[in-house]
Chains A and B, each alone.
Chain A
């Protein structure tokens, strides 16, 4: 079992300077997002439209997915359906095996991360090169991405320099971003030119046209796809939108929410294979229909993976993506992952103060913090919280429902704090006291005061 978010976050916080840097870097992105949003007077309207379109689509998912399949097939694209991660990986493996290919590139796709495609293929002796710069860096380091848009944001340029020195033979101690990027560019260009098969994610799939859109800032999806003879697009079933005219609503929101840019540098539309090329689309469920069936959580399927909720989350900024021990970290991950594996991810809905900032930045108006609250109820009901917590909650509920008992417990508690303060000052037993003083315990509660003074 994974260590909990709290434990991993505590380890992350051991290096306070790095925590500060992580926090400030992501806050900078959040500020860029604010500037980009605040120059559009129609911003809140756009969010509402996006939310409404997604609501409508999720209610008619079967219709739009069938329409998409029909149009895409008519365009000459081969459409595959995958029930789960294993299915998804097997479909891709078969395409690779049938053609006997070895030179494979991939542009960032969180779905393939979710399905652990790289590990799966590697076990079959097939290597996939991630071509997004950040993805390539974490791939060299054998780490998962820590952020869905900025996968290597937990690393400093010094870390990147050391990684490149080891894997690309760059100069030791040269931290110049220009130099390091150039080294990566030369390395990746070679991979692009050799690529026989390119895997990309899908940001939006349009039912009306059977086409799909991939958004990148480095152009790496295009570079990979343009030289490969096979292109496989991997999409979750929730990526579908009804019409091409809806795209503008989402592309305007996506880039601004993600990085504060008015539009991603490359917004590439794919409709049909070019002559001599094969194009495949793998449409994946992997628990999404289960989430669709959970009334309280279906809204989470609106997510367009912009990561605005990561950047605004004061907890994410100070705990790092790896503390969430899942492919999709942050607030949205904390409501998606319990659906995939409730037991393994039972800690995630508690890794939040429920401050609500995530809900406010969400471009498709997912009520993230309310869903976190609801997941806590489900997780407690399923018996997936520590027995000690459950017991103390039961005790508390018992006392607080009985006014006279509450009064006795209150005075007794305050007396102990005043006279036997050593009891609450054991740092290993009282996490509050580890880095904080206890509040003063007054002799008199307000109720005591009120009884004496109300007539004064």
Chain B
């Protein structure tokens, strides 16, 4: 199985450890991983700001880099959702269509494609799970509290395979953290307040670590926690699933 590893721009630049954990984890599980060197960004920052018309260059570049693999996997629900919903190129419609339907967020890839049932990882800490909105409501990584439907959670199922890990959910299990792309700067006050409230709920559970599938949300929460001098850390779910036994 040839897996194209998509490392979103800001993870490449600021959180290489998340990318390394994703790369190592997929390798351990027997995937043949290709990391296309010319990849940059999915184009979401422009599109969410109203400038989807400017993301053509990103689309073209993405298609040039990721054609010819069986699956594309990324440790970021929101970038994956953007590609699924908006990747397009008039000149290579078939390639774009293939990519849109074969791109996976890491936890859904492990659950739905690799059908992972056990994992040799150990992480003896109390962990709070932050469900990122685009992964949850966009990619349906877990059931949503608004809908009348059976409960499930792909990231929680994976975390429960990690030995020693104690999983805690906040009281509002799927409320947005307030990152929201450029929302975090253009609506700074509300964005921070939303983050502060999310953190408060996790801290009342006395967690050691807040984890999730989107580094963007975690980066926002980490920024607030560092400013406050909180002892709680953030870690991407790949780092926990890749932790050694």
Chain A residues within CB distance 8 Å of chain B: 5-6, 9-10, 13, 16, 19, 23, 27, 34, 37-38, 40-41, 43-44, 312, 314-315, 318-319, 350-357, 359-361, 373, 376-377, 379-381, 385, 389-390, 393-394, 396-398, 400-403, 406, 410, 413-414, 431-432, 434-442, 444-450, 454
The residue on A at minimum CB distance from B176 is: A355
User: From DSSP, what is the main secondary structure of chain A's interface residues?
Assistant: helix
- Compute how far the CA of A247 lies from the CA of B198 in the bound complex, rounded to whole angstroms: 40
A-B contact pairs, 16 of them (CB 8 A): A6-B187, A9-B187, A319-B190, A354-B180, A377-B52, A397-B55, A400-B43, A410-B13, A432-B223, A435-B224, A436-B227, A439-B15, A446-B23, A447-B12, A450-B35, A454-B35
Chain B residues within CB distance 8 Å of chain A: 7, 9, 11-16, 19-20, 23, 35, 37-41, 43, 45-58, 60-61, 133-134, 137-138, 144-149, 172, 174-176, 178-195, 197, 219-220, 222-224, 226-227
- Compute how far the CA of A449 lies from the CA of B181 in the bound complex, rounded to whole angstroms: 27
Contacts of A435 in B (CB 8 A): 188, 192, 224, 227
Q: A9-B187, A360-B146, A439-B14 are in contact. Are A403 and B227 (CB under 8 A)?
A: no
- Compute how far the CA of A271 lies from the CA of B43 in the bound complex, rounded to whole angstroms: 55
Contact B176 A6 (CB under 8 A): no
Contacts of A373 in B (CB 8 A): 47-48
Task: Give me 7 other A-B pairs in contact (C-beta within 8 A), A380-B49, A402-B57, A435-B227 excluded.
Answer: A355-B133, A379-B50, A397-B43, A403-B39, A439-B14, A442-B14, A454-B35
B174 to chain A, nearest CB (A): 8
Contact A34 B146 (CB under 8 A): yes
A-B pairs with beta carbons under 8 A, tally: 210
- Compute how far the CA of A314 lies from the CA of B194 in the bound complex, rounded to whole angstroms: 7
Most chain B CB atoms below 10 A, which of A37, A312, A402, A447: A447
A220 to chain B, nearest CB (A): 30
Q: A318-B193, A446-B20 are in contact. Are A431 and B185 (CB under 8 A)?
A: yes
A352 touches which one: B45, B61, B180 (CB < 8 A)? B180
Contact B50 A436 (CB under 8 A): no
Contacts of B14 in A (CB 8 A): 414, 439-442
The residue on A at minimum CB distance from B144 is: A360
B223 touches which one: A350, A403, A437, A445 (CB < 8 A)? A437
Contacts of A393 in B (CB 8 A): 45-46, 49, 51, 54
Contact A446 B40 (CB under 8 A): no
The residue on B at minimum CB distance from A376 is: B50
A403 touches which one: B37, B55, B175 (CB < 8 A)? B37
